[in-house]
Amino acid sequence: MINPDQKHFFDHNGYLLLKHLFGLDEVENYTNHYMRLRLQGSYPGDTSGVDIGGNDPLKKFPRMIHMHRWDQISLDWMIDHRIATALTTLMDREPFAVQTMLYFKPPKARGQALHQDQFYLRAQPGTCIAAWMALDSCDEENGCLQVVPGSHDWPLLCTIKADTNQSFSPVSVPIPDGTPILSLVMEPGDVLFFNGQVVHGSLPNRTEDRFRRALIGHYIGGEAEMVSKFYHPILRMNGTEVKLAESQRGGECGVWTDEKGTQKIEVVSIEGLADRTE
């Protein structure tokens, strides 16, 4: 499914877009399924709840999370053989599955500021990887995903506050001025795979009548010995459970420094960061 040129592209850039990995009939079934579930009420992991009468579009259609723990359709997608085959090729070994998410992103919804998934998952050793499947056509108008090519080679960056007028998440990471940020135009059934260090985010949905729904799976390398508590239980790609330790926050993160006019990343301890930045 993934040829040597595509594998080279992923290794060099940190992401790979596979077009039409799932068929339009499958995508329609997934879309109808999750819209039906969302409109039926609340589920485990809903942090904001459904507020049909509110002004925030994201409260009318809050994300769903860890659906695979209670929904068979989500579990089947998470460990689907097409995703398993692609991930195994990209990671050079079979991964473990740890999370599903569904973002509805209705019209006028905020996006998500630039961030790195590994900041949350804390897979050790190695990193995580995402499979991000478009359920709608995605472009800059309705808030497509954006990536910073090559940032998979960066360490975890020290976080900063995000602009919550544009981002539903209050956390972001800084990048130097002029750093290329690529908007990924996708069609329903396309799946984007990207390394957990890749800096990525999404634009607000500026349209009046278009959703930008996405079904997402998060995975960790098969060499991992631990991952954050939030992502347990951990599954093999055959659906059976595997036991790993729980990783903790803390450690090190990267800050941008200017070295003779060139921006470089200096890794510092999180504990000492406050003293450094005062």
Which CATH number belongs to the domain containing residue 169 in this structure?
2.60.120.620
Q: Which pLDDT does position 260 carry in this prediction?
A: 84
Estimate the crossing angle of helix 81-91 against helix 4-13, to 10 degrees.
70
Based on the domain organization, do 191 and 263 belong to the same domain? no
Residue 66 shares a structural domain with residue 199: yes
Compute the distance between CA of residue 220 and CA of residue 103 in angstroms, rounded to an integer.
21
| Full strand arrangement of the beta sheet holding 182-183 | 112-115, 200-202, 145-147, 182-183
34 and 163 belong to one structural domain: yes
pLDDT in the model for residue 275:
38
Paired tokens of 18 = 């596979």
Number of domains the chain is built from: 2
Per-residue pLDDT for 53 more than 70?
Answer: no
Amino acid (1-letter code) at residue 58: L
Q: Are residues 199 and 268 in the same domain?
A: no
Residues 229, 261 within the same domain: no
Going by C-alpha positions, the residue among 102, 110, 98, 112 that lies closest to residue 134 is 102
Say yes or no: 195 and 263 in one domain. no
- Rounded mean pLDDT of the chain? 92
pLDDT of 156 over the 60 cut = yes
179 in the same domain as 155 = yes
Q: Are 154 and 197 in contact (CB under 8 A)?
A: yes
* Domain coverage including residue 256: 252-278
Check whether residue 179 and residue 273 sit in a common domain.
Answer: no
Q: How confident is the model at residue 237 (pLDDT cuts 50, 70, 90)?
A: very high
Least confident of 85-99, 155-169, 225-239, 248-262: 248-262
pLDDT for position 273: 44
From CA 218, how far away is CA 128, in angstroms rounded? 7
Quote the percentage of the chain above a pLDDT of 90. Answer: 84
- The verdict on 166 and 268 lying in the same domain is no
Same domain flag for 225 and 116: yes
State yes or no: pLDDT of 234 exceeds 90.
yes
| Whether the predicted pLDDT of 47 surpasses 80 | no
pLDDT band at 276 (very low <50, low <70, confident <90, very high): very low
Co-location of 88 and 186 in the same domain: yes
Looking at the structure, do residues 134 and 264 belong to the same domain, yes or no?
A: no
Please determine, for residue 208, whether its predicted confidence score (pLDDT) is greater than 90. yes
